[in-house]
Amino acid sequence: MFPNNRSLLVLSDAEPGTSQFSCYLAASKLDSGAKVVFVETNTPPDEVVFHISNYGVDTSAMESDSRFAIVDACPHSMPVDDPHVVKVGDPSRLADIFEAITFAVNQLGGKEVELVFDSLTPLYSEHDTASVARFFKDLSTIARFSGSLTCAVDRSAIGEEQSASIASVADGLVEMTMGSNLRWYVRLKHLRGSTVSPKWVSLDMEREPPVGTALMWRRGSPAEADFLE
């Protein structure tokens, strides 16, 4: 996986790619034994569970072990009677989302918790560029003390100014695009404090990851990040 205590921004060319990548990443982290708080702004919690389960992860078992929680920041979802789902009071208020995230992180022990945020895109319909950037910076601060943060955003929906404002805050930047063959490709563009050689590599998110397949970080000189198969 990517290094701990870092914030990572994933810039995708399409919103479906951000959701699919976020669920794929969460499933991979859970399968490796990590604790995960999944923040969802687009779809109800049951759909998040469905998509993560498609990668072979039993989320109910993870919840029982206090390793998995969902922060429901989706405006049109209904409250559910599930102690592992933290419903945001008012999803249009960044302070309410932040409060729900900190509650969920503490619920899982407050340390070594992986935050996966899908996605920042809807926040721009309610808030200006500076407000979302401050919010992302606050989340990044949490990550440096509690574990790590991966936030996805559809850059085609928010524009260059908005993308640049949050990219400047992130410790790492991953770009994601779909090729002419309809396959997803990713590359690590930047990682603070490291020399990175950006290289596009394909990512198959249509199937359950086989044993040994993960988003890996290989240290070296220069440092390189890659999806290894």
pLDDT given at position 207: 56
Higher pLDDT, 211 or 148: 148
Where would I find the H helices in 44-198? Answer: 45-53, 59-64, 94-107, 129-146, 155-158, 160-167
pLDDT tens readout for residues 168-221: 999 999 999 988 888 889 999 999 888 888 889 988 886 554 443 344 333 333
pLDDT given at position 2: 62
Residue percentage of the chain with pLDDT more than 90: 67
Show the tokens assigned to 205. Answer: 């998110």
The identity of residue 27, as a single letter, is A
Where are the domains positioned within the chain?
A: 7-228
pLDDT given at position 63: 81
**pLDDT of 229 above 60:** no
Separation of alpha carbons 216 and 183, rounded Å = 19
Query: Looking at domain 7-228, what is its CATH homologous superfamily?
Result: P-loop containing nucleotide triphosphate hydrolases (3.40.50.300)
pLDDT given at position 204: 81
What are the strands, taking DSSP E only, across the chain? 7-12, 35-40, 68-72, 85-87, 113-118, 147-154, 172-178, 184-191, 201-203, 214-218, 224-228
Show the tokens assigned to 169. Answer: 């805050």
**pLDDT of 224 above 70:** no
The identity of residue 118, as a single letter, is D
Return the closest-CA partner of residue 27 out of 19, 16, 36: 36
pLDDT given at position 181: 87
The identity of residue 36, as a single letter, is V
pLDDT tens readout for residues 6-39: 999 999 988 778 899 999 999 999 999 999 999 9
DSSP β-bridge partners for residue 114: 36, 148
- Tally the C-alpha atoms within 13 A of residue 106's C-alpha that lie toward its C-beta: 7
What pTM value is reported for the model?
0.88
Residues 174 and 167 sit within 8 Å (Cβ to Cβ): no
Interval 45-50 mean pLDDT: 95
